[in-house]
Structure 1
Amino acid sequence: MIKANNISVKTNKSAAAKTRQELVSMFVMAYNQVDFIEATVRSAFAQTYEPLEIILSDDNSTDGTYEIMERLAAEYQGPHQIRLNQNQENLGFVGHLNSVFDLCHGVLIVYAPGDDISHSDRAAELYQAFYQDRPLLVHSDVNNMNQQGNLTGVVSSRQSDLESMDLKAAAVSSSLGVGASCAWNPEIRDRFGPVEGKDNFDDLIFFFRAMMLDRMAHVPKPLVNYRLGAGLSRPKVTNNLKEGIAQERKNCQRAVDTYRQRLKDCHIARPERYDVIQLLEKRLATKEYMLSLLEGSFRSVYQAAFSMQKLKVLLSLLNRIRKATPDRQKKRVQRASNTV
């Protein structure tokens, strides 16, 4: 092991000499996933593609996740280059996501969240779909898996929805693709810059970037066992109205961050699409107003409601809060457990 700042590197020089293929990176991204991380790491080690660098990156976990990654890296005897990283402080999801592009050296970055399991041919299949046309993003289908690691028998794919979705629909969608199935061309960051807003998710931003430029490829087979009911984006059950309002505020903040980022990215990549820009501006203004209501006093809410347009937004917000009661939340989680 060679220590370089917070990176430990385990190299196998003979592996790169065996092939003239390009270096691919696999980024295992973890935070407090002690129950799942070993299976995730072992599935990364089992990849058939060479040359492959595997970055095991932990966002300052407190539950022993990093120690498992460290042990597995020390025990590894295979052909791949292993790079071990632990952030010195918790960066949060977006901060950790942005660090991916500084830690990886490959022409393609295969994303591996710390609770999912990659098939052994995943990196090879994604690179095969990438190497000729160099899309910004490559994604695949997934096998749905429950929290106990048992496959449900359902294969999920978003490809047909994506193919039928125009750019305006994509701009306001809250569900584009399965981020856990993706591999990224580093250009997806270099061209647009890092993701901004602490509550953003990779799939909501990167799929939109690729769709704007029509630079996306799909592998029509499952390459990941995707764990339902885990991860940062899983539905949350709230126990009372106060928690429901807090959750709705977080949802509004995420929507604000998403629309701001998509608006910025659209100005960069498709400034001629005034229709998309105007739609994003309108949606952003609405969500910013809803967020201000959730953060403000009831007096300011009632004063603002004298505007008919804002009254409609207020009533919509109250309806969303009503749906955040415990019984309704449990029904949402039950439905979500059966789908991606």
Structure 2
Amino acid sequence: MPQQKDTALDQMAAPAGTSPSPEAELVSMFVMSYNQADYIEATVKSAFAQTYANLEIILSDDGSTDGTFEIMQRLAQDYQGPHQVRLNLNPTNLGFIGHLNKIFDLSRGVLIVYAPGDDISHPERCSTLYHAFARDRPLLVHSDVNNMDQHGTLTGSTTSRQKILADMTLEDTAGSLALGIGATCAWHPDIRRLFGPIEGEATFDDLIFFFRATLMDRIIHVPEPLVDYRLGVGLSQLKARTFQQGVAQERKNWQRAYETYRQRLKDCQKMRPDQTRVIKLLQNKMETARYQLELFNSPFRAACKALLSLRKFKALLSMVNRLRKMTPKRQKRNLVRVQENM
């Protein structure tokens, strides 16, 4: 394994005679990985197969321990195609948000195409996203996906969030914890330059960037699947198997909600202070999430507070009901009901 360096970027020159068209702007495709050795080769090869001419491909690993980076390194060394290929290995694990923020420091293109280490990009993905971007210069361009299982077999179904997003008001977007599919996205560097880096560790790119782009009315949808999207794996796909895991997952969900609403509130106050209703909504959402976290950290004190606030009392009852559903007895009862209905 090579010596780790703080931003270990090794640019590999494209073969002579394969330089991109001078008319095309540089686009960055960022393959972001962490312990995805089972999937990373297909992801990287799909990046190498992109048809967009003036493309830099950054293969970036967040300190994997399963050989993911070594696979990326081998593929980069063997690559003989026209694209610029750069390697980055974070010397210490930054976590998803820390790694995400670093994307913008490493990328040099006018558009950053995001490629998670377990999905497969169609060859025309970068080209299609760039041409959609070039017309209006939005902050975010996103597409649909073809769903595939953990083994890479297409399920035959396509997912698009556009119908839901199109019907959302800005207030709906501010309050929602289910917006677009981050794996389909490409971003203009201004999505960080204008707002600053994402703060906190528990939120996700789609929860912040879709809100930012909607807030500024700079978002475009490409109505075709450009990514084969692997279901059942990844950070947002982890499922609790025991009551203790369920409680831990519930706490993590509320931590994510709190950090998401806090970031959105900061972004809205900075860029759109005129949106007073959205700001008020986010303040209320953040306060509710803060209280839910307090139920885990200081349950007795939090329960006492519920006696003085109808909102907190409702939140307490909601939490108790969710935890009851996680008990082994209730889970077994639900399983029996499912089996009886089969």
| TM-score, normalised with respect to structure 2 | 0.92
C-alpha distance in 2 between matches for 1:256 and 1:245: 17
1:102-133 Cα offsets, whole Å, 9 max, x none, are 00000000000000000000000000100121
Q: CA RMSD in A?
A: 1.9
Q: Which runs of 5+ in 2 are unaligned?
A: 336-342
Q: Which runs of 5+ in 1 are unaligned?
A: 333-340
Task: Tell me how far 1:17 sits from its aligned partner.
Answer: 5.1
1:176-209 Cα offsets, whole Å, 9 max, x none, are 1000000000000000000111001000000000
1:154-182 Cα offsets, whole Å, 9 max, x none, are 01101111111000000011111000000
Equivalence for 1:196: 199
Instruction: Select which of 131, 135, 139 maps to 2:134.
Output: 131
Contact between 1:19 and 1:50, CA under 8 Å: does it hold in 2? Answer: no
Contact between 1:139 and 1:219, CA under 8 Å: does it hold in 2? Answer: yes
Equivalence for 2:325: 323
Aligned residue pairs total 328
Contact between 1:238 and 1:324, CA under 8 Å: does it hold in 2? Answer: no
Letter in 1 for 2:306: A
1:66-122 Cα offsets, whole Å, 9 max, x none, are 000000000000000000000000000000000000000000000000000000000
Equivalence for 2:295: 293
Q: Is 1:53 the equivalent of 2:53?
A: no
Equivalence for 2:30: 27
C-alpha distance in 1 between matches for 2:315 and 2:75: 51
Equivalence for 1:338: none
Letter in 1 for 2:248: A
Q: Is 1:276 the equivalent of 2:278?
A: yes
Contact between 1:141 and 1:221, CA under 8 Å: does it hold in 2? Answer: yes
SS in 2 for 1:54: strand
C-alpha distance in 1 between matches for 2:121 and 2:84: 17
How many percent identity over aligned positions? Answer: 59
Contact between 1:60 and 1:90, CA under 8 Å: does it hold in 2? Answer: yes
C-alpha distance in 2 between matches for 1:325 and 1:206: 36
**1:4–1:284 CA distance, 2 compared to 1 (3 A):** closer
**1:321–1:66 CA distance, 2 compared to 1 (3 A):** same
Task: Tell me how far 1:40 sits from its aligned partner.
Answer: 0.2
Q: Is 1:163 the equivalent of 2:155?
A: no
| TM-score, normalised with respect to structure 1 | 0.92
1:247-293 Cα offsets, whole Å, 9 max, x none, are 11111100000000000111122111110000000010011011011
Letter in 1 for 2:301: S
SS in 2 for 1:84: strand
Letter in 1 for 2:134: Y
**1:262–1:14 CA distance, 2 compared to 1 (3 A):** farther
Higher deviation after alignment, 300-309 or 271-280? 300-309
Equivalence for 1:73: 76
C-alpha distance in 2 between matches for 1:88 and 1:193: 23
Contact between 2:146 and 2:228, CA under 8 Å: does it hold in 1? Answer: yes
1:24-64 Cα offsets, whole Å, 9 max, x none, are 00000000000000000000000000110000000000000
Higher deviation after alignment, 299-308 or 148-157? 299-308
C-alpha distance in 2 between matches for 1:304 and 1:4: 47
